[in-house]
A and B are shown apart, each in its own frame.
Chain A
Amino acid sequence: MGIKKISKDGFSGLIEGLIAETTVIGVQSKGDKFVYDLLGSSANLRLDYDVTILPPKKYFLQPAEILLRFDGEKYEAEFDDEEFVLVGVHPYDMIAINQIDKLYSEDNFDSHYMRRRENATVIACDVARASENVFASSMGTATVSEGFDILLTDIGDFYVAESATDKGEKLLGKAEGVSTAEDEDLKAREKIQEENKKNLNKHKLGCKPSELPGLLEKAYNHPIWEELGKKCFSCGSCNQVCPTCYCFNVQDEVNWDLKSGTRKRVWDGCLLDGFTKVAGGHEFRKSRADRIKHRIYRKGKYVPEKIGGEIACVGCGRCVGACLTDIANPVKIYNRLIEDIGIGK
């Protein structure tokens, strides 16, 4: 696979062509914020965005998706096989998708998620503008090297376009305005990526991400969990906006005949009341302090143990902005723990 460059007009043309023949999802403005939504015109695409309200995860693990249909007795699995192109995925969100890919394909293969993932063509792009709360530089997620089909970097009049898959290569092959990326173009891309590795850092983590599991190993009984628990509304906003949260609930919906219907999975969140409640009423993780602790441990220790050490917080900063009581910032929590316990052995 190779690295080329494509003129901005050429890229717009490519997107227009895609819109004419398939479903294209792209980052667009919504008020003073940005969202992923169905793209009607390349003019609406905003690759200069800072961060989207919700991560692109919603196109693979949908907020509500049909798993099965039933007719009163038999169950029939339902798969969504619509091909689509997702444009504008930032490196930190791409890394989150790569992590969920692992979690949904290993052990028990989740074909509902994985087929949707295979049906997608992902055009990622390096960050052009830091958001208010991003800390991807601290998490080592400011740049990405895999998972996408094409990675764009805005170097002025052109995008440097790296294709990482056959799908990406083919797509670029169709485009106009593609030319060889010269040394100076590659240097311009490297400069942007190197700067992002430093500057996407509105909250500075006081240790290496790889040191977080060890830090948490010692923090289980720290008073911070009770302190945060007292402030937490248990609203689950941090779960909702998180690109690496993948928990779900399952609900049946019955049609008017009271027989046939669908079984759906819907997003769920470990901060919400009732998440661990069993029939009969016993709730295993009842206190808010424990639920906040679980969220932080899941991102910083439990999931990393499942996916080869990668920390399951990608530093997008969405939870920082979404939290109603301003307590969700993982960096603040980690730094307080570092201050109190230290990261040494």
Chain B
Amino acid sequence: MSGRREDRSIYQPELATVRDRKMLNETELYLRLSMDSGVLEYKPGQFVEVSVAGIGEAPISISSSPTADDGFELVIRRVGNVTNAIHKLQTGDKVGIRGPYGKGLYPVDEVKGKDLIFICGGIGLVPQRSFIKYVLANRGEYGQVTIFFGTKTVAQRLFASELSEWDKLEGVEVKETVDKPEEGWGGEVGVITTLIDKIDKDIRDAMIFACGPPVMYKFVLLALEEKKVKAKNIYLNLERKMKCGVGKCGHCQMNNYYVCIDGPVFCYSKLKDIPEAI
């Protein structure tokens, strides 16, 4: 195969092998994969198109940190045809991967030395985890790290043991909340904004990274506004139907931006000029 760009297809998946799999809860599958040829190089905030032959492709955020040297990790919620098929994959199985895609606009270098607050709604923890782990691997370069994680139920929690390990680290604080608690739940109760409301220090200089379902952003932004956080300090990781991943198919477009090639992480000061964003 020659190096001519005309000979390559931007839609061709490369094969990866499932190295490890486990269910994190009833609907979320954790996969650790490695590319059969070469290494997947990526930045926090980027995603891949996972391809199941005969079913299709789904855009999935990379959940591991680029600092990890043992493949890459994905977490897939069982929600449609493709993700249901992905859930059937066993260790040793092959799966198609295209990417990584997106600019992965987490300002990895710009926020060095700053306090970081991660606001994660449900599966929104998954893409954030890539940057969280990156920050923890370069711990000395960042300030205080606060992680808020909210789910509907206790059963829907993800990476619970990892969260409690992080919480033990110096300069790291993890706070969880659930909407519908059950007996024995020791964390907060309520939607994710209850954690923001309870912040009792000045967070105007902190950098905020939020990822969650579309409905979460409106309320998170209102709560942050109450705390006088400026738009330029807030980054949101957006979900869209990213069918092609390469800025052609048009599905993920919001006004003049393509989430797949311009995001999916956007600074809120930019999103303010994109009415279709939130």
Distance of B74 from chain A, by nearest CB (Å):
15
B255, A302: Cβ atoms under 8 Å?
A: yes
B241, A277: Cβ atoms under 8 Å?
A: yes
B71 within 8 A of A: no
Interface locus among B49-57, B139-147, B172-180, B198-206:
B49-57
- For residue B254, which residue of chain A has the nearest CB? A284
A22 within 8 A of B: no
B3 within 8 A of A: no
B184 within 8 A of A: no
With a CB–CB cut-off of 8 A, which chain A residues contact B83?
279
B80, A280: Cβ atoms under 8 Å?
A: yes
B163 within 8 A of A: no
Chain B contact surface mostly: loop
B13 within 8 A of A: yes
- For residue B256, which residue of chain A has the nearest CB? A302
A285 within 8 A of B: yes
B249, A68: Cβ atoms under 8 Å?
A: no
Distance of B190 from chain A, by nearest CB (Å):
22
With known contacts A73-B94, A108-B246, A275–B11 Cβ distance under 8 A: no
- For residue B239, which residue of chain A has the nearest CB? A278
B107 within 8 A of A: no
- A230-260 vs B, CB cutoff 8 Å, 1 = contact: the mask equals 0000000000000000111111101000110
B57, A250: Cβ atoms under 8 Å?
A: yes
A200 within 8 A of B: no
B248, A104: Cβ atoms under 8 Å?
A: yes
With a CB–CB cut-off of 8 A, which chain B residues contact A282?
213-214, 239
A59 within 8 A of B: no
- B1-30 vs A, CB cutoff 8 Å, 1 = contact: the mask equals 000011111111101000000000000000
Complex Cα spacing A259 to B58, Å: 19
Q: Interface size bucket, B side?
A: 35 or more
- A267-281 vs B, CB cutoff 8 Å, 1 = contact: the mask equals 010100001111110
A338 within 8 A of B: no
In the complex, which of the residues A112, A279, A285 contacts B79, with contact meaning CB atoms closer than 8 Å?
A279
B79, A75: Cβ atoms under 8 Å?
A: no
In the complex, which of the residues A72, A111, A246, A294 contacts B53, with contact meaning CB atoms closer than 8 Å?
A72
Distance of A18 from chain B, by nearest CB (Å):
25
B181 within 8 A of A: no
- For residue A112, which residue of chain B has the nearest CB? B9
Distance of B98 from chain A, by nearest CB (Å):
9
- For residue B98, which residue of chain A has the nearest CB? A75
B225 within 8 A of A: no
A258, B15: Cβ atoms under 8 Å?
A: no
- For residue A253, which residue of chain B has the nearest CB? B54
Q: Interface size bucket, A side?
A: 35 or more
B186 within 8 A of A: no
Complex Cα spacing A68 to B14, Å: 12
- For residue B95, which residue of chain A has the nearest CB? A73
Residues from 278 to 322 in A contacting B, C-beta threshold 8 Å = 278-280, 282, 284-285, 290, 294, 297-298, 301-302, 305
A77, A114, A261 interface centre (most CB from chain B within 10 Å): A77
B251, A276: Cβ atoms under 8 Å?
A: yes
Which residues of B approach A to under 8 Å, CB–CB? 5-13, 15, 51, 53-58, 77, 79-83, 94, 96, 213-214, 239-241, 243-244, 246-256, 261, 275-276
Which residues of A approach B to under 8 Å, CB–CB? 67-68, 70-77, 79, 103-104, 107-112, 114-115, 118, 220, 246-252, 254, 258-259, 261, 263, 265, 268, 270, 275-280, 282, 284-285, 290, 294, 297-298, 301-302, 305
Q: Can you name 22 A-B pairs with beta carbons within 8 Å?
A: A67-B9, A68-B9, A70-B54, A73-B94, A75-B12, A75-B96, A103-B248, A108-B10, A108-B247, A108-B261, A109-B6, A109-B10, A110-B246, A110-B248, A252-B54, A265-B249, A275-B241, A276-B252, A278-B239, A278-B241, A279-B80, A279-B83
Give the top 6 A-B pairs by smallest Cβ distance, nearest first.
A279-B80, A247-B250, A77-B9, A108-B246, A70-B53, A302-B256
